[in-house]
Structure 1
Amino acid sequence: MKKSLRLRLVLGVCLTMCALWSSVAAWMFTNMRHELHSMLDDRLIASTKMVAGVVQQLQPTQLTSPAQAPAMDILSVIARDGVACEVSLVRSEVDIRPIAQTSNSPGFDSLGATGFSRITKGGKAWRTYVLEENGIRIATADRMDVREHLVQSLAYSLVLPFLAALIGILLLTWWCCSLALKPLQRLQQELARRPPRDPHPVQAGQDVVELAPLVLSLNDLLARMNAAIERERRWTADAAHELRTPLTAIKTHVQVAQLVMDRAEASGALPQASTALQQAGQGIAHMHETLEQLLLLARVETGQSQEGPTTRGAAITLAFEQACSQSQQQAGARLEMSVDSPAPWRWEQLELPIAPALLTCAITNLTDNALRHHCGDARVTARLALTSAPLPAATPGDPPPLQLLVRIQDQGAGMTAEECQLATQRFWRKSSAVHGSGLGLTIVQRIAQSAGGCLRLQPGPEGAGLVAELRLPLRLLTGGTGTLTQA
């Protein structure tokens, strides 16, 4: 079941308002109920004292005749206010004779001591107040049901506005949430209308603080996806183009061999057939090498290498020596290797975040490329050392990390600075006559990038040859960091 952010927000606001308002309303109701009862008690006291003041002004002879007591006038005023009152003469504790009372008086013959008390008359509860001065007792009373009715009216006056305000807040919150979620709706509409191969970044939501990080991450994801799609498209086009040439050559040589073989018995052209088949075999080997390089490049770019994740200690120098030996045997040329000491550490303390097979593959591609283009009597030099220099992905201000440096230098035709920038592109070759698939340096660069390192190509001294430097970040197994001078 789908969850609604708007419904959650509205319910959260309403529940919060209900909890806060209920607490405030309960506190206010309790306080106002106490204040209301105190106010009604004060009214009883004030009514009693007002009657007492009038009675004190009467002559003793006027008090003996209840029908002629002037206190009846003031009692009628009190009765209209809802207060029951009774004036009595106290001759003794048992001889109490009423002389005046209101029409709603329940009778106060059972009242005891002065002050506040409660009595029940006619099945109804009363709140009474008694004042006795100079033989005159004045009693006033309120009905408790009338008081509770006032309290209920007060409660209704609190609850009804609360309910009305709650409904209003619910509707306003829903409306405000709908407006606040409009940017999300616009983002959804833009993504729904977006063509599958549209490379432009998403615009909706960039002006909203809460949505801007999401849109930024989404645009970054779309950019990576577009780059991956474009890379795969170029890979397919380049691979098809590169495979077309050796396949055409193979087809041609095989056809020539077939024609020659058909005429071999009559013309004695068997050596020509042998040459054609040999060339066809070379074309097959070239195509096989290109396919292997393409498969390796695909595994590196998609992170699907099945080897171990790291190379430690002596395995680093072993991979370097194996790569140089393999390249030297295949090329038949002389390669001078050198391994510098990793002081102040030992090789056992160092670790590369890359599989041994990938490290060997990267160095092999560099040495193969150098031996392929080398010319002259000088040797190709391959050096393994430690260094520290800022990497492309390093944060500005951080100390340079400890790195493994593989430096290969040849004495070939060399390349210009512009050609060095193009050399890592797929299938790029300086000349169509140069043997190779044009993928070796691309694979080295991808391997370096997968480990957080880099590949640098630069013209050799005085423009002779090419210098290739592979830099890979190192970790110290015993902890700590190191900083070396530039190698």
Structure 2
Amino acid sequence: MSSIRIRLFVILLLATGVVWLSAFLWIQQSTLTEVERVLDARLAESGQMVSSLISDRRVDVAAVAKQVPNLTVAQDDASVGYSHKLSCQIWSLDGELVGRSGSAPTNSLAGVAPGFSSNIVDGEEWRVHTVINEALGVRVMVGDSQRVRDRLVQDVTMGLVLPALTILPVLAGLIWLAVWRGLRPLDRLAEGLSQRSADDLRAVEVGPLPREIRPVGRAINGLFGRVDAAREREKAFTSFAAHELKTPLAGIKTQAQVAMMATDDATRTSALANIQHGVDRTDRMVRQLLALASVDGTEVRQDVTLDAVAIIRDVVDDLARVARGKGITVTAPGNQKIPLNSDPVLLTVALRNVVENAIAVAPDGSDVDITAETSDERLKISVLDRGPGIADEDRAKIADRFFRGAGSNANGSGLGLAIVEAAVHRLGGEVAFAPRPGGGEIVSMIF
């Protein structure tokens, strides 16, 4: 069942039914036990009474037996359906029937042993109490028909079941009403959310909600807040990306016009070189935008065991041509193997951007060093450059998208370190920035 209301209703109804059935069985059993105890006590008292009357010799034995039918429970119209008459037999100890009541069978109700017994006489079950009077040499047997006893217990239990079955539909209705009213706040919450527009991310009012539903309201408000923040980031990202792409494209267009109108080869060659530079810058920015989109949308897999040093060396090989263009020497770790459970795509994106950024800011002819150290089950990959470093006032926002610090490359897009931080955070790591002794910056990725 998909409905919470129906599930709760069925569970409560079944639980109530189980409790009710258990109570009925308990009452039936306890009633049976109590009726048996009371009727057995009556049998014992009747047997002792008959024996006492005989012992006093105030009445004849046969007369006593004939008077036993008068030992009845007072009856009214409601009790006519079952009679509680006792049956009595008086036997001599040598097995001769001395006397019996009119309702008693001719065959012996019980054996020769004194006390209670249950016996089948003429196809009917009897509950009998036997008293032996040694002085007179007689055995007194007083018995109840078991059928009458069972009828009494049945009437008592049915008197409980019939009202219960009558009340059960009313109880089911009350349970349904309670469940419906109890879940009504969820309906109001759903109705309020369904009537909102896609742009309405205002917080849901948690106060009026019941205490048990308030966590749902808070969770929805948290989701709205995250969605709103993501939308704002996307808006800012789109705006910044459009602005950053507009600048090099405008420059390319201007240089193309200069090349077309140039009257000498030197001017045309300079304009074409500027066009190539603008295309390279635009290409790098587009690649970084794609990388950032990939980082945001890639499903993280950290169940793959990688060789971190091998990934570093692959990245260095990919950027070797760019480094040679500036005469920069990139030093990678040795041939040791460092296993790391990580996502190969995100790890490569993070490493490539931090190394590419280091090469971009490093002076021509300088060096970029890459180290990998392990300690306490933590891997620290550091990239050290000899660039201008990061100003103290820029460190808090250096990884913001499209942010370019005071000492950054004018041709940069402000996306490199943002991509690095996003990828490393998705891998469960962290990025640290520190000045390099002697000038430059140290960017560390810790996993």
Query: Which of the five TM-score ranges fits, normalised by the shorter chain?
Result: 0.7 to 0.9
Hey, what does 1:154 align to over in structure 2? 156
Hey, what does 2:36 align to over in structure 1? 37
Task: Give 3-state SS (helix, strand or coil) of 1:428's partner.
Answer: coil
Instruction: List gaps (5 residues or longer) in structure 2.
Output: 75-83
Deviation at 1:164, TM superposition (A): 5.8
TM-score (norm 2): 0.73
Hey, what does 1:326 align to over in structure 2? 321
Deviations 1:356-395 (A, max 9, x none): 7435522432223323xx48xxx63422224468xxxxxx
Hey, what does 2:230 align to over in structure 1? 228
Instruction: List gaps (5 residues or longer) in structure 1.
Output: 262-267, 390-398, 474-487
- Work out the CA distance in 1 between the residues paired with 2:310 and 2:57: 124
In 2 relative to 1, CA 271–92 (structure 1 residues): closer, same or farther, beyond 3 Å?
closer
2:444 aligned with 1:467 = no
2:377 aligned with 1:384 = no
- Work out the CA distance in 1 between the residues paired with 2:90 and 2:270: 148
Deviations 1:105-140 (A, max 9, x none): 3355444766665545xx987666666753777665
| Equivalent position amino acid for 1:358 in 2 | V
2:398 aligned with 1:423 = yes
- Work out the CA distance in 2 between the residues paired with 1:225 and 1:184: 22
Hey, what does 2:244 align to over in structure 1? 242
In 2 relative to 1, CA 328–295 (structure 1 residues): closer, same or farther, beyond 3 Å?
same
Task: Give 3-state SS (helix, strand or coil) of 2:385's partner.
Answer: strand
- Work out the CA distance in 2 between the residues paired with 1:387 and 1:350: 12
| 2:386 paired residue among 409, 424, 439 | 409
When structure 1 is superposed on structure 2, of 276-285 and 437-446 the one drifting more is 276-285
Hey, what does 1:347 align to over in structure 2? 336
TM-score (norm 1): 0.68
Task: Give 3-state SS (helix, strand or coil) of 1:383's partner.
Answer: strand
In 2 relative to 1, CA 325–425 (structure 1 residues): closer, same or farther, beyond 3 Å?
same
In 2 relative to 1, CA 219–131 (structure 1 residues): closer, same or farther, beyond 3 Å?
same
In 2 relative to 1, CA 131–233 (structure 1 residues): closer, same or farther, beyond 3 Å?
same
Aligned residues of 1:313 and 1:347 also touching (Cα < 8 A): no
Aligned residues of 1:324 and 1:337 also touching (Cα < 8 A): no
| Equivalent position amino acid for 2:237 in 1 | W
In 2 relative to 1, CA 449–381 (structure 1 residues): closer, same or farther, beyond 3 Å?
farther
- Work out the CA distance in 2 between the residues paired with 1:97 and 1:305: 100
Task: Give 3-state SS (helix, strand or coil) of 2:337's partner.
Answer: helix
Deviation at 1:328, TM superposition (A): 2.7
Aligned residues of 1:406 and 1:469 also touching (Cα < 8 A): yes
Aligned residues of 2:251 and 2:278 also touching (Cα < 8 A): yes
How many pairs does the alignment contain?
Answer: 427
Matches within 5 A, 1:11-410: 11-19=10-18, 21-23=20-22, 25-57=24-56, 63=60, 78-79=71-72, 81=74, 82-84=84-86, 96=98, 105-106=102-103, 108-111=105-108, 119-120=121-122, 133=133, 134=136, 140-160=142-162, 162-163=164-165, 170-182=172-184, 184-199=186-201, 202=204, 204=206, 218-258=220-260, 260=261, 272-273=267-268, 275-303=270-298, 311-312=306-307, 314-316=309-311, 318-319=313-314, 321-322=316-317, 325-331=320-326, 333=327, 335-338=328-331, 347-351=336-340, 353=342, 354-355=344-345, 357-358=348-349, 361-371=352-362, 374=363, 380-387=366-373, 401-410=378-387
In 2 relative to 1, CA 77–458 (structure 1 residues): closer, same or farther, beyond 3 Å?
same
* Root mean square deviation of aligned Cα: 4.6
Task: Give 3-state SS (helix, strand or coil) of 1:289's partner.
Answer: helix
| Equivalent position amino acid for 2:243 in 1 | H
- Work out the CA distance in 2 between the residues paired with 1:148 and 1:352: 76
- Work out the CA distance in 1 between the residues paired with 2:228 and 2:285: 26
Deviation at 1:469, TM superposition (A): 1.2
In 2 relative to 1, CA 56–324 (structure 1 residues): closer, same or farther, beyond 3 Å?
closer
| Equivalent position amino acid for 2:398 in 1 | A
Task: Give 3-state SS (helix, strand or coil) of 2:71's partner.
Answer: helix
| Equivalent position amino acid for 1:249 in 2 | G
- Work out the CA distance in 2 between the residues paired with 1:242 and 1:252: 16
When structure 1 is superposed on structure 2, of 380-389 and 130-139 the one drifting more is 130-139
Aligned residues of 2:43 and 2:142 also touching (Cα < 8 A): yes
Aligned residues of 2:400 and 2:418 also touching (Cα < 8 A): yes
Deviation at 1:150, TM superposition (A): 0.7
Task: Give 3-state SS (helix, strand or coil) of 1:403's partner.
Answer: strand
Percent identity, aligned pairs only? 24
Deviation at 1:145, TM superposition (A): 4.3
In 2 relative to 1, CA 458–325 (structure 1 residues): closer, same or farther, beyond 3 Å?
same
Deviations 1:159-200 (A, max 9, x none): 345546755664554444445545544543453345434455
Task: Give 3-state SS (helix, strand or coil) of 1:402's partner.
Answer: strand
In 2 relative to 1, CA 151–257 (structure 1 residues): closer, same or farther, beyond 3 Å?
same
| Equivalent position amino acid for 2:287 in 1 | E
| Equivalent position amino acid for 1:407 in 2 | L
- Work out the CA distance in 2 between the residues paired with 1:91 and 1:452: 99
Aligned residues of 2:368 and 2:386 also touching (Cα < 8 A): yes
